[in-house]
């Protein structure tokens, strides 16, 4: 059974990306995956600074998240687009979790993991451009980022009252991304 860690690059109360990742997590569970949904609000970390790291080491919350990553096969990440790129919260989180720490080598939480990327915004592109940056960063630290990704535009019009997608093709595409994540995790575990 694929074990997937799901989180969003926004910790804002009412984050539409946190909502989207919860939605995607539910779909992954329906496909048989074991999903741990977390909120980065619960794992606050200071802004990365080399002097802080030299003086105090890697923050406890980065260690906690690194351990969670190591306990899962893959990650479902919803990241809002900030000026066509990754949010500072997600980048800072990746940076801390990628650092060597005592006997733990750098990057170990990422290498060989699988990830699928999703995003949503009120814009027409839904955050698609930002996901390309997230993809490149993760791929460069050894994550197998599945080739499909879903960006849901015009968020306030994208969902029906009962929680489906208003546009059938968007829904089918979103489901295909989640299925690809689960199947890839299953294949690599096998
Ligand atoms: C600094 C900043 C830059 C943004 N840039 C973009 C952008 O390039 N494209 C876009 O679609 N939305 C952009 N937005 C709007 C976000 O998509 C919107 O705030 C969204 O609700 C953030 O996701 P969240 O609700 O999960 O926090 C930006 C928001 C902020 C705060």
- For 160-174, what is each residue's pLDDT tens digit? 988 899 999 999 999
Q: Which atom of ligand 1 is nearest to the CA of 19?
A: 26
89 and 39 in contact (C-beta within 8 Å)? no
Average pLDDT over residues 60-85: 98
- Mutating to test ligand 1, I would choose from 81, 120, 132 the residue with most ligand atoms within 8 A of its C-beta, which is 81
Q: Kindly list the distances between the CA atom of residue 68 and the CA atoms of 22, 73, 131, in Å, as whole numbers in the listed order.
A: 17, 10, 22
pLDDT at residue 163, as a whole number: 85
CA–centroid distance, 80 to ligand 1, in Å, is 6
Query: What is the domain count for the chain?
Result: 1
Full-model pTM: 0.97
Classify strands 3-8 and 74-78 as parallel, antiparallel or unpaired.
parallel
- Residue 87 pLDDT exceeds 90: yes
User: Kind and range of the H or E element at 61?
Assistant: helix 60-70
pLDDT at residue 26, as a whole number: 97
Which protein residues touch ligand 1 with a CB less than 6 Å away?
Answer: 10, 12, 15-18, 80-84, 121, 123, 127
Residues β-bridged to residue 75: 5, 115
- Mutating to test ligand 1, I would choose from 17, 121, 123 the residue with most ligand atoms within 8 A of its C-beta, which is 121
Report d(CA 186, CA 177) in Å as an integer: 14
How many other β-carbons are positioned within 10 Å of the β-carbon of residue 158? 20
- Mutating to test ligand 1, I would choose from 7, 82, 90, 130 the residue with most ligand atoms within 8 A of its C-beta, which is 82
Average pLDDT over residues 85-106: 98
- Nearest-CA residue for ligand 1 atom 9 is 81
Residue linked to tokens 């829904």: 171
Give tens-digit pLDDT for 126-154.
Answer: 999 999 999 999 999 999 999 999 999 99
For residue 119, what are the domain limits?
Answer: 3-189
Looking up residue 111, the CATH number of its domain turns out to be 3.40.50.360
40 and 109 in contact (C-beta within 8 Å)? no
CA–centroid distance, 93 to ligand 1, in Å, is 18
Q: Kindly list the distances between the CA atom of residue 47 and the CA atoms of 90, 96, 138, 171, in Å, as whole numbers in the listed order.
A: 11, 9, 19, 36
Read off the pLDDT band of 3 (50, 70, 90): very high
Give tens-digit pLDDT for 13-60.
Answer: 999 999 999 999 999 999 999 999 999 999 999 999 999 999 999 999
Read off the pLDDT band of 189 (50, 70, 90): confident
Q: How many CA atoms lie within 13 A of 94 on its CB side?
A: 25
- Residue 158 pLDDT exceeds 80: yes
Q: Which atom of ligand 1 is nearest to the CA of 125?
A: 11
Report d(CA 157, CA 30) in Å as an integer: 25
pLDDT at residue 172, as a whole number: 97
Mean pLDDT of the chain: 97
- Nearest-CA residue for ligand 1 atom 28 is 82
């Amino acid at each position: 059974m694929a074990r997937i860690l799901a989180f969003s690059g926004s910790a804002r109360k009412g984050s539409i990306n946190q909502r989207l990742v919860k939605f995607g997590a539910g779909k992954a569970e329906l496909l048989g995956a074991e999903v741990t949904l977390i909120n980065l609000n619960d794992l606050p970390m200071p802004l990365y600074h080399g002097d802080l790291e030299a003086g105090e080491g890697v923050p406890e919350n980065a260690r906690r998240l690194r351990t969670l990553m190591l306990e899962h096969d893959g990650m479902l990440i919803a990241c809002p687009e900030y000026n066509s790129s990754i949010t500072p919260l997600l980048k800072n989180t990746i940076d801390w979790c990628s650092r060597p720490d005592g006997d733990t080598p750098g990057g170990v939480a990422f290498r060989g993991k699988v990830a699928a990327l999703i995003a949503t915004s009120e814009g027409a592109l839904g955050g698609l451009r930002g996901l390309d940056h997230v993809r490149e960063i993760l791929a460069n630290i050894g994550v197998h980022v599945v080739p499909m990704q879903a960006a849901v535009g015009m968020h306030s019009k994208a969902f029906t009252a009962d929680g489906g997608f208003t546009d059938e093709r968007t829904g089918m595409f979103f489901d295909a991304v989640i299925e690809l994540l689960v199947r890839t995790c299953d294949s690599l575990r096998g």
